[in-house]
Amino acid sequence: MNDLHALLIGAGIGGLTAALALQKAGFRASVYEQAPELGEIGAGVTITPNACHALNYLLGEELVEHICHVPASGAIKHYATGATLIDTERGDGPKRRYGAHYCQVHRADLHEALVAAVSTNDPQALHIGKRFSALEESTTDVTAKFTDGHSATGDVLVGCDGINSAVREALWGADEPRFTGYVAWRGLTPTAALDPAYLIPDSAAFAGRGRTFTRYKVRQGDLYNFVAFTRRDEWTAEGWSERAQISEILSEFEDFAPEVQAILRATPPEQCFKWGLFDRSPLDRWTRGRATLLGDAGHPMTPFLAQGAAMAIEDGMILARAVAAAGDWPEALERYEAARRERGTFVMLESHVNAKRIYNRDPDHLSRNSHKSAEALGLYDYNPLTAPV
């Protein structure tokens, strides 16, 4: 097992976390990314304590605290009046309770930190422009084939290739992702362009009927990330994301509080994007032979618990611990799936339930009891450094 070589397909947050965790446990990991360049989209991501444990271990707490912003305070506000409906304790509270921060980060900053750490450990680990197309397994190894005609051979293969996973299709056949009926807008706004009076508390979610708007700081507070959700009957754009017009989102949210309007008006047009949100049914198995799934490839989820990246990070950490604990590769993949599939599937399904909870509620009567967060579901209690594998 000491010389196990893992082929990881996809260099998103999941694939890179898995690579780094495997390297730290003493194993060889090679990552194959379809894109011609490594990078992440221009948007923020919330890292909850359950995932922050793994990042602290893998990247070091100092770096995590440098790239991530810990919101001093948070609130759920009334969409129109901006009045605080629920205070959400932030700052050092989550760290005191769970041992790791609740924080937010620009995806590109997290991605860059993971890429740097993986490449420092092994300059040959990352391969770009490699689009996985098929796998072949023998009694001694597994081979990934890429559309450019190249191939790579290792002991196990992990599909970290996102919701549209080609590895998932190779293992379990094709199934079309479904449009969930929700659309997300994301944008980044320079904090300097905003009236500080509009930015209290540090992070806030505005709850409307059928619509929400969340804003939080990234990049040492220099930028505000916003993510806004509405419902749609269908998604007609060709891709799953497209550049959005500020005027379109302004008209969608025209009855929201003045601070929401101010953020939207201050957003540079090239910094606003729109996503159709898609999902798939849970799988009964992830692992087949020498190959398995990780992150959105195994459990694509809507963002209504802000846990997709967190689950991918947890998966990566647990995969490495399962490999380290096992006597051979079948045992490693079995232990990994046994530790992760139930939790990944639970969070995936609960994200749907939460969407219904959020979008059917009456903001005028919102209370702590009607609000079910990832924390209230107990998701922050999990620590991938110590959870059983």
Residues that bind ligand FAD (CB under 6 A): 9-15, 32-35, 45-46, 131-132, 160-162, 166, 184, 186, 227, 275, 277, 295-296, 303, 306-310, 312
Of the candidates 182, 198, 216, 380, the residue annotated as catalytic is 216
Q: Which lies closer to ligand FAD via its Cβ, residue 7 or residue 332?
A: 7
Q: How far apart are CA 290 and CA 54, in angstroms?
A: 25
The nearest distance, CB 311 to ligand FAD, in angstroms, is 7
The nearest distance, CB 78 to ligand FAD, in angstroms, is 22
Q: How far apart are CA 158 and CA 388, in angstroms?
A: 21
Q: 359 catalytic, yes or no?
A: no
Provide CB contacts within 8 A for 160, sequence distance 6+. 8, 9, 10, 11, 12, 14, 15, 18, 31, 293, 294, 295, 297, 312, 316
Contact 280, 175 (CB under 8 A): yes
The DSSP symbol for 288 reads B
Residue 115 identity (one-letter amino acid): V
The nearest distance, CB 14 to ligand FAD, in angstroms, is 3
Q: Which lies closer to ligand FAD via its Cβ, residue 34 or residue 189?
A: 34
Contact 291, 167 (CB under 8 A): yes
The nearest distance, CB 134 to ligand FAD, in angstroms, is 10
Instruction: Give me 265's structure tokens.
Output: 């008006």
Contact 215, 263 (CB under 8 A): yes
Q: Which lies closer to ligand FAD via its Cβ, residue 131 or residue 288?
A: 131
Q: What Cα–Cα distance (Å) separates residue 19 from each residue in 22, 29, 131, 364?
A: 5, 5, 18, 46
Q: Which lies closer to ligand FAD via its Cβ, residue 97 or residue 127?
A: 127
The nearest distance, CB 164 to ligand FAD, in angstroms, is 6
Q: How far apart are CA 367 and CA 369, in angstroms?
A: 5
Q: Which lies closer to ligand FAD via its Cβ, residue 296 or residue 375?
A: 296
From the list 247, 262, 253, the residue with the least C-alpha distance to 200 is 262
Residue 10 identity (one-letter amino acid): G
Q: Which lies closer to ligand FAD via its Cβ, residue 13 or residue 263?
A: 13
Number of neighbouring beta carbons within 10 Å of residue 143: 16
Helix/strand/coil for 102: coil
From the list 315, 276, 278, the residue with the least C-alpha distance to 298 is 315
The nearest distance, CB 291 to ligand FAD, in angstroms, is 13
List the catalytic residues: 216
